[in-house]
C-alpha cells in the first residue's frame, strides 16, 4: 500500500517545476525586450552620430568655401591695385574688410549662414568696381576714337571747340563729384554711464549701454545748403542690422534698406561735428561691429568697433 506522503512530494515537485518554467519564461521575455530596446537605442545613437558627422562635414566645407571665395577676392583686388594705382586706397579698404571677415570665419563655430550674405555683398561690390572700370575704359576708347576721327576730318577751329566742350563736360562731372558730402574722423565706441550719469567709453559688451558714432562733415562750398538726413546702419558681429522696427528704412541707390538711427541736420557748407547714438535694446554681442554712414544717397564712410 502506497504512503500518502508520496503523492504530496510528487505534487510539490510539479509545482516547483511549473514555477521554475514560468520564471524562465518571464526572464526570457524581459531579456528579449531589453535586447530590443538596447538594439533600438544603438541604432538611434549611430544615426545621430552619423547626422552630427554629416553636419560637421557640411559646416567645414561651407567654411572652407567662404574662405576660398574671400581669398580669391583678395587676389583680385591685388591685381586691380597693380593695374589701377590711382584707386589703390579704395581697394586697400576693401581688402581690410575681407581680411577682417576671414579672421571672423576662421574663429567661428557652427553655421556659416550669417556670413553668406556678407561674402556675397563683397563679391557684388567687386563686380561693381570692375563693371565701372570697364565702362570708363570703354568710354575713354570711344572718346579717343571719336577725337581721332574729328582731327582727321575737321579743321583746327572745330577741333578746338570740341576740345573745349569735352573739357567743360569733364569740369561739370568734377563739380558734381565734389558737391558730395564727405565725412572724416569717424570714430565709434561702446558707451556706459557712470554713477554721475556721465558717458564713459568701454570695450566690454556686457557693460556697454549704447554705441556712439562721431564724425565730421567737411566744409564744402559747392554742396547744396539745406536740411540733410544722416543715417547710420550698425551690423552686429553676425551681420544682423540693429533696428527698432523693420519699417525704419531709407532708399540707397534705388534699394530700400533698414537703418539703425538717423539724425537731421542743417548743412550750411561749413564743417560740422556730428554724433549719432544707438541705445541698447538687448545685450550687445561680443565681436566686431560695422557702422556705415549715409546721406544724400551716398555712403559717407564706415567705421568699426570691437566689443569683448
CA atoms within 13 A on the CB side of 69: 19
User: Could you list the pLDDT tens digit for every one of the 308 residues in the chain?
Assistant: 444 544 445 667 777 778 878 888 888 888 888 888 888 888 777 777 666 665 565 656 777 888 888 888 888 878 777 777 666 677 788 888 888 888 888 887 666 777 788 888 888 888 877 777 777 777 766 655 555 554 555 455 555 554 544 454 444 444 444 557 788 889 999 999 998 889 999 999 999 999 999 999 888 777 778 898 999 999 999 989 999 998 999 999 899 999 999 999 898 888 889 999 999 999 999 999 999 999 888 898 888 999 99
pTM: 0.44
φ, ψ dihedrals at 30, nearest 5°:
-60, -45
- 158 contacts: CB under 8 Å, gap ≥ 6: 150
Say how far apart CA 28 and CA 178 lie, in whole Å: 91
Say how far apart CA 255 and CA 237 lie, in whole Å: 23
Domain 183-307 homologous superfamily, CATH: Immunoglobulins (2.60.40.10)
Say how far apart CA 263 and CA 253 lie, in whole Å: 20
What 3 state SS string does 50-92 have? HHHHHHHHHHHHHHHHHHHHHHHHHHHHHHHHHHCHHHHHHHH
- 81 contacts: CB under 8 Å, gap ≥ 6: 87, 88, 91, 92
Q: Which of 271, 244, 269, 270 is nearest to 259 (CA)?
A: 244
Amino acid at each position: 500500500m502506497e504512503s500518502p506522503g508520496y503523492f504530496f512530494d510528487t505534487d510539490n515537485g510539479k509545482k516547483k517545476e511549473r514555477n521554475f518554467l514560468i520564471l524562465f519564461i518571464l526572464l526570457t521575455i524581459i531579456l528579449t525586450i531589453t535586447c530590443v530596446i538596447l538594439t533600438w537605442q544603438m541604432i538611434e545613437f549611430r544615426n545621430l552620430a552619423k547626422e552630427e558627422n554629416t553636419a560637421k562635414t557640411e559646416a567645414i566645407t561651407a567654411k572652407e568655401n567662404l574662405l576660398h571665395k574671400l581669398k580669391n577676392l583678395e587676389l583680385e583686388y591685388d591685381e586691380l591695385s597693380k593695374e589701377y594705382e590711382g584707386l589703390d586706397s579704395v581697394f586697400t579698404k576693401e581688402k581690410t574688410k575681407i581680411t577682417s571677415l576671414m579672421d571672423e570665419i576662421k574663429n567661428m563655430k557652427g553655421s556659416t549662414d550669417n556670413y553668406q550674405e556678407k561674402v556675397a555683398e563683397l563679391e557684388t561690390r567687386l563686380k561693381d568696381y570692375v563693371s565701372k572700370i570697364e565702362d570708363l575704359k570703354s568710354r575713354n576708347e570711344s572718346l579717343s576714337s571719336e577725337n581721332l576721327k574729328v582731327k582727321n576730318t575737321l579743321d583746327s577751329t572745330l577741333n578746338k571747340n570740341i576740345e573745349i566742350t569735352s573739357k567743360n563736360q569733364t569740369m561739370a562731372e568734377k563739380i558734381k563729384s565734389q558737391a558730395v558730402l564727405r565725412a572724416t574722423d569717424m570714430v565709434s565706441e561702446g558707451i556706459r554711464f557712470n554713477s554721475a550719469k556721465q558717458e564713459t567709453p568701454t570695450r566690454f559688451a556686457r557693460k556697454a549701454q549704447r554705441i556712439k558714432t562721431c564724425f565730421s562733415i567737411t566744409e564744402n562750398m559747392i554742396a547744396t545748403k539745406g536740411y540733410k538726413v544722416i543715417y547710420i546702419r550698425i551690423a552686429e558681429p553676425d551681420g544682423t542690422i540693429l533696428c527698432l522696427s523693420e519699417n525704419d528704412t531709407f532708399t540707397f541707390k534705388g534699394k530700400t534698406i533698414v537703418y539703425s538711427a538717423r539724425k537731421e541736420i542743417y548743412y550750411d557748407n561749413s564743417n560740422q561735428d556730428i554724433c549719432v547714438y544707438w541705445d541698447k535694446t538687448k545685450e550687445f554681442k561680443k565681436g566686431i561691429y560695422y557702422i556705415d554712414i549715409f546721406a544724400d544717397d551716398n555712403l559717407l564712410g564706415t567705421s568699426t568697433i570691437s566689443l569683448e
